Every structure is written in structure tokens, then in C-alpha cells.
Amino acid sequence: MSKEVILTGLRSNSEFHLGNYLGAILPMVNLQKKLAGKYQINMFVPDLHSFTTPIDHKNLYKQTIDNVKVYVAAGLNLDDENTYVYRQSYVSAHSELAWILSCFSYYGEISRMTQFKDKSSRQDSTNDDATKQKSNVTAGLFNYPILMAADILLYDAKWVPLGEDQQQHLELARDVAIRMNNKFDKELFTIPNDWKTQLEFINRDKGARIRSLKVPERKMSKSIDDPAGTIMLSDSPSEAAKKVMSATTDSLQSINLDWEKQPGISNLLQIIALIEEKSIAKVAGEWQGKTNYAELKKTVADLVSKLLLDFQAKLSGVNESSTLAKLAADELKINVIANAKLLNIQKALGLRE
């Protein structure tokens, strides 16, 4: 591959929500517009990651297609020859490389992953029988950072725009790549850039993390049962506005950007900043010293309602046949790239001559 690779993906276990859209989808679409022709952009659907937590498997295939259509509605140009859109499960090299990487990853470094601790504790808490708690946490949930490392290293991706909660996974990919390069005394893998450099690349001082409207101490999530705190992209504008107007705030009656003392208010300021494409510092400055929480909520509600109205109109016009054709064509091309990389690794490990 002659161009540096930017790689990103979002699980297809359910429909996307506002946090996905503002924090990951729009930034990636904007990167494509800004960097078209300068980089190879891999926008893949990690469908194998989707069932690390319980999902409705009957809807997985359709949900995958629907989520690709969301990218198109957000402005992704399917005709860009440097952009590849593909499903993880349609490229078997991902799974084989994940097994190889798992044999060079250490139990200690995987068990320290905070995402595993967080998600496994949530799965445990839903089980009434304490003696069976740990049996409900799958090995897939434990191992999925290794599959994520394979997703990245298979394409020598230097640029991996990620949410703040994925920072440890990027570090794992870097550590395993360095470890294997050193062990086999050759550059098997390109080392992804570090977290700080990734943020500078996408012009952010930290990863965007939209919070739940009801429990602003945790992120907005499609894997948590939090309907009142999560705005789905399929919500009607009026439904979304009601959720915003009911958002949890505080009793301080002073609008400030303070994630520790005022996470709900800070979250609303962040949503304004992302929709208006301003820095959160600028938005916070515009509201600094004001005391009317209802006014702040109304502003956010209006912005979110307009965004959903525009987005849903565009989504209804996305051609599914064109989307499927793009997936099929790109999956043929990406398999050639991935298999060539895998063969090089297999040779280094003594699996091939």
C-alpha cells in the first residue's frame, strides 16, 4: 500500500446513537472529505466484535447493512477509490491474525483492560445467581482487544481515530507489534502512532465521549439499557428533544465546564460544540456565568432535533443496492491486501516456506 492507512470501525450490534454519530461517524466522514486522495481510508464494520456482549443475532446482518448506510447518509463518498468499506467477518485474515497475536500477548496486559472490567462487571450484575456470575462473561469479551489489534496491524494502519475508552487497546496493538518485530528481527508490522499523536491528527485534545443524558458519569452507550439517556438516530426529533429537556444536571445553577462537579452540564456543552463544530472551550465561554439550565437544554434540544431531521431525510434516500455493491467490491480488494500481509507473517513464524 503506497498511502498511509487510516482505519476506523464501529460495532454493528445495534443501531447507532447520537454519541456514535457526533464522536466517530461525522469526524471520520469529515476526514475523508479533508484527506481524499492523500490517505487510504479503511472504514470497516467489526461485526465479529458485535457479539462480545449479548445481542439479537437474527438482526445482525441487516443491522450491519443499515449501519453502513448511516455512514453514507452522514456524507461518506462511496465512489472514492482510496476508501475501503468492508465487513470484518468477510476477511478471514482478521481471525487468523488474532489467534497469532494472542500467542504473543500476555494475560496480565489483557486482564488490565478497563473496558473488560467495566463490561464484565455489568454482565455479572445482571445475574441473580452469584455462583454463576463469572460464567456469563465470555472469553470473547476478554480477548477482543487482540482481535482489534489484528484489525489494525493487518493493514499497517498508522492512524486509528478512537474514542477515549479505546486508548488501552491502541497501546496493546503497539506493544504486540513491537514485541513481534523484535522477536523475529524484522518489520512484520507498522507501529500505529501513539495516542497523543492520534489526537493531534484529528485536531482534538482528548477523545470525544458523549455521556448519557440520565447518568452523565458514564458514556452514552448502545450496550447499556439506558433508553432515557441515549438518543438513537432513529428517534423522532420530538422524542430526542424530550430526552434532552429531561437531562440530569445539578443544583448549582451556574453553567460551567466541569466534568467532575457538573458532568451533565458539561455534556450538554459538548453536544453543542460537536454539532456546531466549535471547540468546547469556545462554547463554554459563551455560556460561562449563565444560570438558566432550561435555556441551555432548549438550545441543545433544538440543535439535536434539526440534526436528526436532516439526517433522517438523507438516510431515507440512501440506495441499498449501491451500498451492497460497494461492500462486495471492496471486500474482494481488501482480501487481497490482507492475505498478502498474513502470508508474510506466516512465513516469519514458520507456517509457510
> What positions carry a catalytic annotation?
119, 219, 222
Burial of 139 (0-12, 13-18, 19+ CB in 10 A): exposed
Q: How far apart are CA 256 and CA 204, in angstroms?
A: 20
Angle at 35 between CA 85 and CA 220, to 5 degrees: 60
Report the first-to-last Cα separation within the chain, whole angstroms: 23
Burial of 34 (0-12, 13-18, 19+ CB in 10 A): exposed
- Judged by DSSP in three states, 41 sits in strand
Residue with cell 451500498: 323
In 3D space, the residue among 347, 336, 276, 269 whose CA is nearest the CA of residue 306 turns out to be 276
- Judged by DSSP in three states, 12 sits in coil
Q: How far apart are CA 51 and CA 107, in angstroms?
A: 21
Q: Rounded to 5 degrees, what are φ and ψ at 133?
A: -55, -55
The strand order across the sheet containing 5-9 reads 83-87, 40-45, 5-9, 157-159
Max CA pair span of the chain: 71
Q: How far apart are CA 61 and CA 87, in angstroms?
A: 10
In 3D space, the residue among 297, 280, 318 whose CA is nearest the CA of residue 240 turns out to be 297
All three cell numbers of 186: 524484522
